[in-house]
Structure 1
Amino acid sequence: MDRKKITIVGAGNIGATLALLLARRETADITLIDINEGVAKGKALDIMEASPILGFNAHVHGTGDYAETAGSDVVIITAGFPRKPGMSRDDLLFKNFEVVKSVSEQIKKYSPDAFVIVVTNPLDAMTYTALKVTGFPKNKVMGMAGVLDSARFAYFISEKTGISVENINAFVIGGHGDDMVPLRKFTTVAGMPVTKFLSKEELEEVIQRTRFGGGEIVRLLKTGSAFYAPAASILEMVLAILWNKRKILSASVYLDGEAGEYYGASGLCVGVPIILGKEGVEEIIKLDLTDEEWADWRKSVESVKRLVEKLPL
Structure 2
Amino acid sequence: MHLAVVGTGRVGRMTLLALAHEFWIKELTLVDVAPRLAEAVAEEIRHTIASTRVPMKIFAYDQDKAVEGADMVLVTAGFPRTPEMKDRTELTAVNASMIKEIAEALGPRNPEAKFVIVTNPVDAMGTLFKKISGADWVISTGTNLESQRFRSELSKQLDVPITAVRGFVGGEHGADAVLLWSTVKIDGKSLKEYLNRSQKTLDKEGMKESVKEISRMIIQVSGGTRQGPAVSFRDILRSIALDDNKVLSVATPYQTPQIPEPVMVGIPSMVGKNIGPTLETFLTEGERGELQKAASKIYGTYQGALTSP
Answer yes or no: same fold by TM over 0.5: yes
The answer to whether the aligner puts 1:167 opposite 2:164 as a matched pair is yes
Deviation at 1:201, TM superposition (A): 4.7
Separation of aligned partners in 2, 1:117 and 1:68: 18
1:142/1:251 contact within 8 Å kept: yes
Q: 1:43 to 1:241 in 2, by over 3 A?
A: same
Corresponding residue of 1:271: 266
Q: 1:272 to 1:186 in 2, by over 3 A?
A: same
Q: Deviations over 1:179-234 (max 9, x none)?
A: 2101111111121123424866523312221122322322222x4x3121111111
The answer as to 2:179 corresponding to 1:192 is: no
Q: Does 1:6 align with 2:3?
A: yes
Paired residues for 1:294-305 under 5 Å:
294-305=288-299
TM (normalized to structure 1)? 0.89
Cα gap change, 1:268/1:136 in structure 2, threshold over 3 Å: closer, same or farther? same
Correspondence for 1:158: 155
TM superposition outliers: structure 1 runs of 4+ over 4 Å? 197-201, 263-266
How far apart, in 2, do the equivalents of 1:267 and 1:296 lie? 16
Structure 1 residue 281 displacement after superposition = 1.9
Contact 1:97 1:126 in 2 (8 A): yes
Query: Helix, strand or coil for the counterpart of 2:183?
Result: coil
**Distance (Å, rounded) in 1 between the aligned partners of 2:66 and 2:302:** 32
Q: How many positions carry a matched residue from both structures?
A: 301
Q: Deviations over 1:261-305 (max 9, x none)?
A: 6x9885222111222212x32434433433543453343233212
Quick check: 193-202 or 50-59, which moved more? 193-202
User: Among residues 35, 38, 60, which one is paired with 2:36 in the alignment?
Assistant: 38
- Report percent identity of matched pairs: 24
Q: Are residue 241 (structure 1) and residue 247 (structure 2) matched?
A: no
Tell me how large the CA RMSD over aligned residues is.
Answer: 2.2
Which residue type is aligned with residue 5 of structure 1? H
Please, what TM-score do these two structures have when normalized by structure 2? 0.90
Q: Deviations over 1:90-139 (max 9, x none)?
A: 100000000111111111132121100001111111011011011112xx
- Which one of 281, 303, 309 corresponds to residue 309 of structure 1? 303
Task: Give the corresponding residue for 1:232.
Answer: 231
Structure 1 residues without counterparts, runs of 5 or longer: none
Structure 1 counterpart of 2:91: 92
Over 3 Å counting, the alpha-carbon distance change for 1:296 and 1:105 in structure 2 is same
Aligned to 2:218: 217
Q: Structure 2: give runs of 5+ residues left out of the alignment.
A: none
1:48: how far off? 0.9
Measure, in 2, the Cα distance between the counterparts of 1:243 and 1:165.
Answer: 24
Task: Report the Cα distance in structure 2 between the residues aligned to 1:26 and 1:37, rounded to whole angstroms.
Answer: 29
2:49 to 48, 51, 72: 51
Partner in structure 1 of residue 251 of structure 2: 252
